[in-house]
Amino acid sequence: MGAGGAVLLLAVLFIVVGVDRVVDALAAADPVLVALTAGLGLCWLAAWSLMLRAVLGALDVEMSVRTAFLVYSGAAFANNVTPFGQAGGEPVAAALISKVGEARYETGLVGIASVDVLNVVPSVSLVFLGVGSYAATTAVGDRVGFAVASAVALIAAIVSAIAFVWRYRVAVVDRVPGAIGPFLGRFDRFDAETIEAGLADRLGNFFADIERVGTDRPRLLGIVALSLLGWLFQAAALTAAFAAVGHPISPLIPVFVVPLSYVAGATPLPGGLGGIEAALVGLLVPTTGVAASAITAAVLVFRGAVYWLPMVIGGASASALGVKAFE
């Protein structure tokens, strides 16, 4: 689907809710609250960049706070321009980390992958806590229930796959290189033994780095706390976006709606563009009682803070850091 699919989804969304009404709502938005939304988006980016710095610190990769912010912004840019969100952007982000941090590629991959995986822990907690609190005062509709079930199923599948690979990591290191090496060795440009030895070494380093991150319990708790803080900054940004378009909502609703909407990031769209906007509108219409056009305007303000702003910062960061790394 790619960028074309994202544009199509956004076009359909605007047609359904009414382009003129959305534009009017955006034109009437309070610029101070729009700026606050952007500021909260930057706070989220800073919190998760500190997560990355803490993870890399566990792997003996030292990075200043400023550099970590720029590197994570570059990683966010990679996630936002590749299909399937984090899954598409992680290899690019890992290459950037390895060059800037002067680390092995697999160490950079463990660093960014750990951030993405650990972000799941507080997101699930926020979904259940938020939906539970919301359900205590309001009936949960089918749409929200389906979204929760879909998120739980997707997360369960990912966790199961990770647990399976981790349990059989020794077999993976022993057998995968032996299968890939001879296959690539059929081509003249590859040497089977070199490929096999190199891949075995990289896989061994990869799993060893994961173990190092997982065994540092105090650091791990701090990393999860930073993840939680980042999610709360995003929820606050969405709350501020609604206030900006003149429709304040309960701050409890974004606490579970924001993490749920990221399920749409697993679609083959660049950074979930179009899919996440549609998911947010679909979840917010039944939970807020606000007009769809106002919700869409608020979502656009919010996504400007957590998608487009990191795109601008991250694109510049990735370009600058990439050039510096190769000098």
Answer yes or no: is pLDDT of 327 > 50: no
Give residue-wise pLDDT tens across range 184-242: 777 767 677 777 777 777 778 777 777 777 777 888 899 999 999 999 999 999 999 99
Q: Which two tokens stand for residue 294?
A: 């106002």
Give residue-wise pLDDT tens across range 120-175: 888 888 888 888 887 777 766 666 677 677 767 777 787 788 788 878 888 887 88
Q: Which two tokens stand for residue 30?
A: 């309070």
On whether the CB atoms of residues 251 and 236 are closer than 8 A, the answer is: yes
**The predicted structure's pLDDT at residue 325:** 46
Give residue-wise pLDDT tens across range 236-281: 999 999 999 999 999 999 999 999 888 766 555 555 676 788 889 8
CA torsion sign for 231, 232, 238, 241 is: negative
**The predicted structure's pLDDT at residue 96:** 85
Give residue-wise pLDDT tens across range 95-115: 888 888 888 888 888 888 888
**The predicted structure's pLDDT at residue 253:** 92
Q: How many domains does the chain have?
A: 1
Task: Provide the whole-model pTM.
Answer: 0.84
Domain holding 103, by residue range, is: 2-325
Instruction: Measure the CA–CA gap between 113 and 122, rounded to whole angstroms.
Output: 16
Give residue-wise pLDDT tens across range 29-85: 999 999 999 999 999 999 999 999 999 998 888 899 999 999 999 888 888 877 655
Look-up: residue for tokens 């739980």?
A: 152
